Amino acid sequence: MPELFAQVILPLSLHGAYTYKVPALLQNDIAPGKRVIVQFGKKKMYAALVLSLSSEMPEEIEIKEVQQILDEHPVVLPENFRLWHWIASYYCCTLGDVFRAALPTGLKLESKSKVFLTGADTQVEISDNEEIILRQLEQDVCLLDDFQRKLGSNFSYAALKSLMGKQLIYVEEKVNAKYKPKTESFVKLHPEIDSEKTLNEKAESLKRAKKQLQLLYHFCSATNAFEPDQVIEITKRELLHGTSFSPSLVKELDKKKLLKEFRKQVSRIEEEKIDQVSINLLNKYQEKALAEIKSEFENKQVTLIHGITASGKTEIYIHLIDEILKTGKQALYLVPEIALTTQIIQRLKNVFGNKVGIYHSRLNSQERVEIWEKTLQFQQEPGKGYQVVLGARSAVFLPFSKIGLVIVDEEHENSFKQFDPTPRYNARDMAVILGLQNNAKVLLGSATPSYESYYNALAGKYGLVNLFKRHSEMQLPEIIVSDLKRAYKRKEMRSLLTPDLYELMETALEKKEQIILFQNRRGYSPFVECFTCGHIPKCSNCDVSLTYHKYKRRLSCHYCGFSYQLPDKCDECGSPEIKTRGFGTEKIEDEIKQLFRNARIARMDLDTTQSKDAFSKIVKNLEERKTDILIGTQMVTKGLDFDHVSVVGILNADNLINFPDFRAHERAYQLISQVSGRAGRKYKRGKVVIQTSQPDHPLIELIQKQDYQQALNIQFEERKFFKYPPFFRLIKIVVKHKNIDTVNRASNQLAKLLKEYKHLIVMGPEFPLISRIQLWHQKEIWIKIDKKLNLDLVKSGIVESAKNVKKQPSNSNCVINIDVDPY
């Protein structure tokens, strides 16, 4: 047999692929995209991913062998690898980094993964190697690392994987994950009952236990026992549903060896029986937009739809998806995490039934593996796999085999960007690459497109379609700008409300209409201050003031979680007079309760939506009009349609506009128009009040006129002048270390090296707004890059310089992060 070599990606931050020899025994089974067990370093074993195979002898002298193959079918497809390569090169990271970001934990088997017993008692055969693992786990939950150490050569990855397949164990990434697989009670005939005859004989003994006998017959008829179409097992829930049998009867029948009750792991992804509804007819404006999109697609791979809020973009997406599914291809529909509400999920499931998978970060690892596998399954068994996936950012990594359409809704949202860890990718941009690589069409949609995408559209790179009519003749809301300074000066403020907002709220409540109040800060007040000496308590790990949470009476850091009880006296001078400053959602709630005593008030922010169902409960209450006033952060702005909200209040627009960031104006515009869009749906014209102390600010005027175009023009002038995107590219480099001197030295060295590249504009190093997070000091260097330059060359120069700085012994342990297209 000729020799065969496998190039594999290890789940480590290493550049390039590593080569292993494939033993003759495994040559038939090995294939790119399958996971294999290899040894790396002295002793450690890893589940690596086969990238490619070749018969060419590599140059290394010592070459190790692939130990085992874990998968029957590839879990990653060749076309997926193309995207991985692009990410690694574009975002300056390694293939190992991409591997770690792309695969769900359950498929990764990293050394830090934790292994648990599921507690299910399926009656399956267990091999010796599997038995060893189970016995170890009976004592304690184990890290994969520990297994290797404790069991030595007795540990086998194949056995581990087989146990996962038998659903006896599961793997989680986070140490304190609360997730446990869902198990459910099932009932079947007792194994000793092998024919109808034995059943009847044994049933004789039940003569006096009438109820038990009835249940037994009920079981037989529910499962068609001994008929050709017999169902072997059914869930206990289903068996007892709609009957008066008590669950203990099943136990009795189990004792008498007539039935057998057992627990089994079940999918959490409920395959509900959905009555598919036909899709909505489009209104004439949507019809026109759809036709325009299709005509743009004829010669453009990517098209941007600029459609105002409530213009019904979702309906257009659904029509496009429907058409692509009919051609046998797959569709990916990306939305920001917080827009993944039951409203949109339900809408899609109603139309596409069980063809739809949903993929987001609130799923546990087992659920994610299920979605991954069903997306793969589409290649082999199109009827069973997912043809459409609705998902957040990470869904762009799913193993699509026949992608035909990618939709990115709310494409301007910065939550498509992954900040940490590397790869710091933007899923919107990756969606575009995914489309280009697979000849799939890409539709970006937004009411307020990102300036990058709009620029691409103006430049003719993307198609552009406008949709400026709201569905069913709804009007855009009227925007009222309310002067905070004047209201304070005239002493007209009602707590945090200007008279404009207060009066509108009063009228709305009288008419039983609903109200949304927006403030982009949670907690009670962003900081507290000593009235006597001016001392402001700060986090001891981070360079930020502590936010006061009144309900818990605690000061807490929103960056590291550090918190302590609000002190009675100032830490510095002992004065008891500690005052709260500024206001967050919690304080608004407090104040509004005082002002409108009869109103039913709810709050939606990170603090009130911690528990699993809290978010949907708040939404439901609003939908059912059990809430009159909803107060919230960004969370209230996305993906929610409420029909009776007539007033929206933005309590303080100043901190949005004045934020020190080159995107601040773009973002303020987007955010305010998104929140405003919640007003006046299916209702008469809604009203929005923007409270600001800068009513004459040009941006506020443009927001009031809802003139996206003009706001963009002004920003374009500025960005061109100051060399910012979309006219220049940006790369941000963050240098971190626990020692501030090291940060200063290393960042200066790096900046000096970078400045040798004369064509680059290098700014900094400088301390960012928050210069220390979780005890790590940090400095930033920003690089502006002319779009005419060869980006690959620029990047390799940057990567090289960073390596050189890190290499110096005095900079050891220094972290240097490269962020391409930072947000």
Q: How far is the CB of 666 from ligand ADP (least distance, A)?
A: 19
Q: How far is the CB of 609 from ligand ADP (least distance, A)?
A: 21
Which tokens in the block code for residue 751?
């900046």
Are the beta carbons of 479 and 329 closer than 8 angstroms? no
Which helix (DSSP H) or strand (DSSP E) does residue 292 occupy? helix 284-299
Query: Among Zn ion, ligand ADP, none, what does residue 310 contact (CB within 5–8 Å per kind)?
Result: ligand ADP
* The binder of ligand ADP chosen from 310, 622, 656, 672 (CB under 6 A): 310
* The binder of Zn ion chosen from 291, 536, 573, 793 (CB under 5 A): 573
Chain positions 645 to 664 lying near ligand ADP, rule: CB under 6 A, are: none
Chain positions 136 to 155 lying near Zn ion, rule: CB under 5 A, are: none
Determine phi and psi for 724, rounding to 5 degrees: -115, 165
d(CA 354, CA 270): 10
Chain positions 435 to 474 lying near ligand ADP, rule: CB under 6 A, are: 471
Q: Is 541 one of the binding residues for ligand ADP (CB under 6 A)?
A: no
Q: Is 631 helix (H, G, I), strand (E, B) or coil?
A: strand
Q: How far is the CB of 280 from ligand ADP (least distance, A)?
A: 4
d(CA 264, CA 119): 9
End-to-end CA distance of the chain: 53
d(CA 317, CA 467): 13
Candidate ranges 249-257, 307-315, 647-655, 766-774; the one touching ligand ADP (CB under 6 A): 307-315
Nearer residue to ligand ADP within complex by CB, 1 or 281:
281
Q: What residues pair up with 235 in beta bridges, in sequence order?
A: 186
Q: Report strand pairing: 68-69 vs 35-39.
A: antiparallel
Q: Is 566 one of the binding residues for Zn ion (CB under 5 A)?
A: no
* The binder of ligand ADP chosen from 11, 96, 181, 312 (CB under 6 A): 312
Nearer residue to Zn ion within complex by CB, 533 or 614:
533
Q: Is 282 one of the binding residues for ligand ADP (CB under 6 A)?
A: yes
Q: Is 539 one of the binding residues for Zn ion (CB under 5 A)?
A: yes
Q: How far is the CB of 580 from Zn ion (least distance, A)?
A: 14
Candidate ranges 288-296, 302-310, 535-543, 623-631; the one touching ligand ADP (CB under 6 A): 302-310
DSSP state of 563: E
* The binder of Zn ion chosen from 264, 535, 552, 806 (CB under 5 A): 535
Which tokens in the block code for residue 501?
């907002």
Q: How far is the CB of 342 from ligand ADP (least distance, A)?
A: 14
Are the beta carbons of 545 and 521 closer than 8 angstroms? no
> In terms of Cα–Cα distance, which of 599, 583, 551 is closest to 652?
583
Q: How far is the CB of 137 from ligand ADP (least distance, A)?
A: 47
Candidate ranges 67-75, 278-286, 709-717, 761-769; the one touching ligand ADP (CB under 6 A): 278-286
* The binder of ligand ADP chosen from 641, 654, 701, 786 (CB under 6 A): 641
Q: How far is the CB of 333 from ligand ADP (least distance, A)?
A: 12
| SS3 sequence of 590-633 | HHHHHHCCCCCEEEECCCCCCCCCHHHHHHHHHHCCCCCEEEEC
* The binder of ligand ADP chosen from 315, 413, 607, 666 (CB under 6 A): 315
* The binder of ligand ADP chosen from 183, 283, 354, 655 (CB under 6 A): 283
Instruction: Provide the strand spans (E) within 403-513.
Output: 403-409, 441-446, 463-467, 478-483
CB atoms within 10 A of CB 143: 15
CB atoms within 10 A of CB 317: 24
* The binder of Zn ion chosen from 38, 137, 169, 542 (CB under 5 A): 542
Nearer residue to ligand ADP within complex by CB, 391 or 639:
639
Are the beta carbons of 596 and 505 closer than 8 angstroms? yes
Query: Among ligand ADP, Zn ion, none, what does residue 541 contact (CB within 5–8 Å per kind)?
Result: Zn ion
Candidate ranges 274-282, 430-438, 548-556, 774-782; the one touching ligand ADP (CB under 6 A): 274-282
d(CA 233, CA 219): 10
Candidate ranges 50-58, 388-396, 501-509, 553-561; the one touching Zn ion (CB under 5 A): 553-561
Q: Which residue has the tokens 């962003």?
A: 526
Q: Is 411 one of the binding residues for ligand ADP (CB under 6 A)?
A: no
DSSP state of 818: E
Are the beta carbons of 398 and 359 closer than 8 angstroms? yes
Q: How far is the CB of 279 from ligand ADP (least distance, A)?
A: 9
What b/e string do you get for 94-106 counting C-beta neighbours within 10 Å, with b at 16 or more? bbbbbbbbbbbbb
Angle (deg, nearest 10), helices 664-676 and 698-705: 30
Angle at 49 between CA 45 and CA 53, to 5 degrees: 115
Nearer residue to ligand ADP within complex by CB, 12 or 407:
407
Q: Is 362 helix (H, G, I), strand (E, B) or coil?
A: coil
Query: Among Zn ion, ligand ADP, none, what does residue 225 contact (CB within 5–8 Å per kind)?
Result: none
d(CA 820, CA 93): 10
Binding mask 734-763 for Zn ion (x = CB under 5 A): ------------------------------
Nearer residue to ligand ADP within complex by CB, 50 or 447:
447
Q: Is 313 one of the binding residues for ligand ADP (CB under 6 A)?
A: yes
Are the beta carbons of 12 and 44 closer than 8 angstroms? no
DSSP state of 486: H
Query: Among Zn ion, ligand ADP, none, what does residue 573 contact (CB within 5–8 Å per kind)?
Result: Zn ion
Q: Is 776 one of the binding residues for Zn ion (CB under 5 A)?
A: no
CA distances in angstroms from 196 to 192, 227, 746, listed in the order given: 11, 10, 81
Q: Which residues bind Zn ion (CB under 5 A)?
A: 530, 532-533, 535, 539, 541-542, 557, 559-560, 562, 570, 572-573, 575
Q: Which residues bind ligand ADP (CB under 6 A)?
A: 280-283, 286, 307, 309-315, 471, 641
